[in-house]
Amino acid sequence: MTDRLSLYNGALTVHLGQPPLSALTDDESVRYALDNVWDRGALKTCLQKGQWNFAARSQRLEYDPSVTPDFGYQYAFAKPTDIVRLMGLCSDEYFEAPLRMYQEESGYWFTDLQQIYVRYVSNDASYGLDYSLWPENFTRFVEAFLADQIANLSTFSDKKTDTAAA
């Protein structure tokens, strides 16, 4: 099962050739470095890197009547709070008619339609942040990302730094 400790240990052992941590409370410089990367949004960054189907979410959105544009498109749609990457913005529920006439500004999509359909990569706990949904390739991607982010620590040799993201 994937969890934060297994991701840290994958980064350390597989990519950097270092010994694993025994717990997320280990008093080790590499653990603090990994915590720092994690806290700066490592998972969100990894989710933003691709159109991951396991993290995909589709929604029908109704326009926000509290937002009235001064000109241009008539209707505003608040972006979902869990969106990390747009996969499709369409005028139909089957995602066969891509929406081409829209504007994106300040957390909104503006268009002349009163209803739109959006498909996106989500960082919600039931989608992209649900480890049980992660395929093996995404787990390995996150491990490699974590390793790459801490590979410049003085405790690692130049050879390990060069191969961290491989």
Per-residue pLDDT tens digits for 118-134: 999 999 999 999 999 99
Q: Are 52 and 156 in contact (CB under 8 A)?
A: no
Who has greater pLDDT, 157 or 22?
22
- Distance, in Å, from the CA atom of 79 to the CA atom of 106, rounded to the nearest integer, reads 9
Does 163 score more than 70 pLDDT?
A: no
Average pLDDT of the residues of the chain: 94
74-84: average pLDDT: 98
Report residue 69's pLDDT band, with 50, 70 and 90 as the boundaries.
very high
Q: What does the pLDDT read at residue 1?
A: 85
- Distance, in Å, from the CA atom of 16 to the CA atom of 21, rounded to the nearest integer, reads 13
Q: What does the pLDDT read at residue 7?
A: 98
What does each C-alpha distance from 137 to 8, 54, 70, 108, 162 come to in angstroms? 16, 11, 46, 32, 21
Q: Which residue has the tokens 């010994």?
A: 19
Torsion of CA 136, 140, 142, 147, to 10 degrees: 160
Q: What does the pLDDT read at residue 165?
A: 53
Q: What is the pLDDT of residues 90-129, one digit of tens each?
A: 999 999 999 999 999 999 999 999 999 999 999 999 999 9
Report residue 164's pLDDT band, with 50, 70 and 90 as the boundaries.
low
Q: What does the pLDDT read at residue 159?
A: 52
Q: What is the pLDDT of residues 5-32, one digit of tens each?
A: 999 999 999 999 999 999 999 999 999 9
Report residue 82's pLDDT band, with 50, 70 and 90 as the boundaries.
very high
- Distance, in Å, from the CA atom of 32 to the CA atom of 26, rounded to the nearest integer, reads 9
